[in-house]
Structure 1
Amino acid sequence: MVAFKAKSQELALRAFSGFIIGALILSAIYYGGRTWFLLASIISLISLWEYYQLLSKKFRVSKGIGFLAGILVLLASAEYLRPASILIIFTLTSFVLFMIEILRRQFSQVSYAIWNVGGTLSGLIYIILPWSYMVLLRAHPIGQTLLFSLFLCTWSCDIAAYLVGTRWGRNKFCEAVSPKKTWEGFAGGAGASILISAAVAYHCSLPPIPLLGIGAICGIAGQLGDLVESLIKREAEVKDSGHLIPGHGGFLDRFDSILINGTLTFFLFGVILS
């Protein structure tokens, strides 16, 4: 009885914090412009900081330089800087990190170039670039609808995968990385995501095929993307990436699936269908 009550309280807290976050994100997408850019930047930079904290448990990472580079990449995505400058930012960041390690070895006889450059740049690639794509996606002619679909499909997949997996899950799915995930939950999450995308297409009177593509992306790729963060946490030997969101853990815990979903959606609509 005590365990059931504690579980119920945890689910209620998770639902409440999830509702607040969802309302903030959907509102920011609706207003677009600087509002969406600011919220996306805050979420991505906090997630980047959590990622660097995880990596720091194993090796050296230049958090400050990565953080500065992340800000510049986000500014470029919002066209406060030229978008092409993103390539320059990545190149210069790598050289700056190498210079730091040269100096470190010169004066202390040790260096961490492979770990520092790889770890710092991987955070920008894994977290900052996907959020930059979502900032750019808002400028698409139907960007508001695309982002609404992206987040609604991602959230519905997460919820359905959890509920179906908890109730009917029997067959483990990648248990070495995430022991609680099951094939039944995976199927439930994918189905819910596709249904939501169809509902959005019907409500907005849009051709269903492109939005069903978002549903498939969020339902399949999103769940695989969730395993990426699980793998990182398992190697760092932690349960959550942070503790800023009650019931969810850290920002990276809450927004892990959206990273691959946002990237593939931008590729689909920002590159192929533009």
Structure 2
Amino acid sequence: MLTRIITGIVGIALAAVIIQTGGAFFAGAALLLAWLAWLEYVRVFAERGMGLTLVTGLLGIGLIWYAGWQQQTDWLLAAVTLSVCVVLMESVLRRSAVSIMDALASAAGILYIGFPFAYMVMLRQTAPETLLMTPVGSFDFGCAMIWILFIGTWSSDTFAYFTGSALGRHKLCPSISPNKTVEGFLGSLVGTTAAVAALGMFFDLPVREMAVLGFILALLATIGDLVESVAKRYAGVKDSGNIIPGHGGVWDRFDSILFTAPLVYYFVKFVGIVLK
């Protein structure tokens, strides 16, 4: 437990530096994390004897990241199309090593991991000219939304854990994640809604919209966690990796973010809160 706490404190401090710095530093960190998550994804499915397209996946995720870094949605679509086509071609050209199921799992993984980290990079660069004044200083809009993304996602996990530990009686998905409870899930919904609404007040953003974002964020964070749990149960592994002492792998730590990052990006894009 001590190792987990120390690692968590160091991780939060490092995340704060990366988020506040932004720019190429933030984008580079996102690419590194995406690649590490992909390596773990490949390793997990290898436990079931699957031979995913390791190198093509690294290149595909890199292309998706670069398109996001350049804020080019046309390039993003081109990167995805190219990556999927090459992966499927490998099932023909390297059929002794890459089966069609390996290719399909690879294509799914490239999208599953590549898109969210690209969305994070694009979100961090959103409306850099818009400054939000807070009691502790000013934040550019993209920086504030990244904080909302991460604090909201962390809040979902935290409220679910403590509410479930104190009040949990009914299992949520016992065949997938035996420790999750309905009470913990409800605690996550209420707590995350309140936490993101409070962040809206802190950043002087519309509180009603932030409360809606918090509610949906808690839903998708839970689903993201369960999706990784399904994959790990399928492969028969406890953690996706051990790169983070006491916390497992990068995929373990970002499983919910993989679902909430696209949510926050499109919420900003379509709800238009930057203009309020």
TM-score by structure 1 length?
Answer: 0.88
Per the alignment, residue 122 of structure 2 pairs with 136
Deviation of the 1:232 alpha carbon: 0.4
Deviates more, 1:225-234 or 1:15-24: 15-24
Native 8 Å contact 1:54 1:233 kept in 2: yes
* Greater strand share, structure number: 2
Note if 1:122 corresponds to 2:108.
yes
Q: Unmatched 5+ residue regions in structure 2?
A: 128-140
Native 8 Å contact 2:90 2:103 kept in 1: no
What is the alpha-carbon distance in structure 2 between the residues aligned to residue 45 and residue 104 of structure 1? 23
Deviates more, 1:126-135 or 1:194-203: 194-203
Per the alignment, residue 14 of structure 1 pairs with 4
Note if 1:62 corresponds to 2:53.
yes
Per the alignment, residue 132 of structure 2 pairs with none
Instruction: Trace 1:144-223 onto structure 2 (pairs within 5 A).
Output: 144-223=143-222
Counterpart AA for 1:117? A
- Aligned-residue CA RMSD (Å): 1.8
What is the alpha-carbon distance in structure 1 between the residues aligned to residue 91 and residue 223 of structure 2? 34
Per the alignment, residue 67 of structure 2 pairs with 76
Deviation of the 1:69 alpha carbon: 1.0
State the SS of the aligned residue for 2:172: coil
Note if 1:255 corresponds to 2:254.
yes
Percent of aligned pairs with the same residue?
A: 34
Q: Number of residue pairs matched?
A: 259
Counterpart AA for 1:177? I
Note if 1:236 corresponds to 2:222.
no
Per the alignment, residue 98 of structure 1 pairs with 88
What is the alpha-carbon distance in structure 1 between the residues aligned to residue 102 and residue 173 of structure 2? 29
What is the alpha-carbon distance in structure 2 between the residues aligned to residue 166 and residue 98 of structure 1? 45
TM-score by structure 2 length?
Answer: 0.88
Q: Unmatched 5+ residue regions in structure 1?
A: 1-9
Q: 1:214 to 1:19 in 2, by over 3 A?
A: farther
Deviation of the 1:233 alpha carbon: 0.2
Deviation of the 1:238 alpha carbon: 0.4
What is the alpha-carbon distance in structure 1 between the residues aligned to residue 124 and residue 87 of structure 2? 33
Deviation of the 1:99 alpha carbon: 3.3
